[in-house]
Chains A and B, each alone.
Chain A
Amino acid sequence: QKEVEQNSGPLSVPEGAIASLNCTYSDRGSQSFFWYRQYSGKSPELIMSIYSNGDKEDGRFTAQLNKASQYVSLLIRDSQPSDSATYLCAVKTSDSSYKLIFGSGTRLLVRP
């Protein structure tokens, strides 16, 4: 079983729609969760972090965390073509190493 799982996509949404990206993880003790955006050929850039159950909003982005279900999601409201990228879910391990484990990413395509 993979430690962090994401649907590879592509997820295709029309401009202005809500894009919903999902991620599950296996380390029940994990406390820190991150969403990175990666454009083709570029390095990942941090868009959201979340540590507590519930929702966390930042502009058009909302991260949702459910530790009981070991599930974290990212919602992008009013999607723009510039949001087209691969979104990587990352989970910090609960051991003392605090390694960051990445999912394989979901490719999002926003159609004009």
Chain B
Amino acid sequence: DGGITQSPKYLFRKEGQNVTLSCEQNLNHDAMYWYRQDPGQGLRLIYYSQIVNDFQKGDIAEGYSVSREKKESFPLTVTSAQKNPTAFYLCASSIQGPPNSPLHFGNGTRLTVT
């Protein structure tokens, strides 16, 4: 089955540690995205990538980093510089080009930092 796999589902870390969230897709989509969702809030864009080896900052990129070395993979690192990292992180992908192409989401990773 084609889809987007995020792992792990739950992640616990101590404050001050960097942590990397995995996102893999086998939909052959060019574009991939990372969103963050806080309780009772909508989704806010962290980073996105429209093509391999290229990515752009979204609205809340501070304290995060990404890489896009392969079309299928778009890992997100939450660094110790991120002031409030506890949140629900969602990875998504879409066909690049057509403006009417929707985003397809993975199941999310819930990160808790104490």
A32 in contact with B99 (CB, 8 Å): yes
Question: Using a Cβ–Cβ cut-off of 8 Å, how many residues does chain A contribute to the interface with B?
Answer: 25
With A43-B90, A92-B99 as contacts: A99 and B48 at CB distance below 8 Å: yes
| Residues of chain B contacted by A4 (CB below 8 angstroms) | 42
Determine if A99 and B58 form an interchain contact, defined as CB atoms under 8 angstroms apart: yes
Residue among B96, B103, B107, B108 making CB contact with A100, cutoff 8 Å: B103
Rounded to whole Å, the gap between the CB of B7 and the closest CB of chain A is 14
Residues of A contacting B106 in the complex (Cβ-Cβ under 8 angstroms): 43
The contact sample of 18 A-B pairs, CB cut-off 8 A, is A31-B100, A32-B99, A34-B102, A42-B108, A43-B106, A43-B108, A44-B43, A44-B105, A45-B105, A49-B102, A88-B42, A88-B43, A90-B103, A92-B100, A99-B48, A100-B33, A102-B43, A104-B40
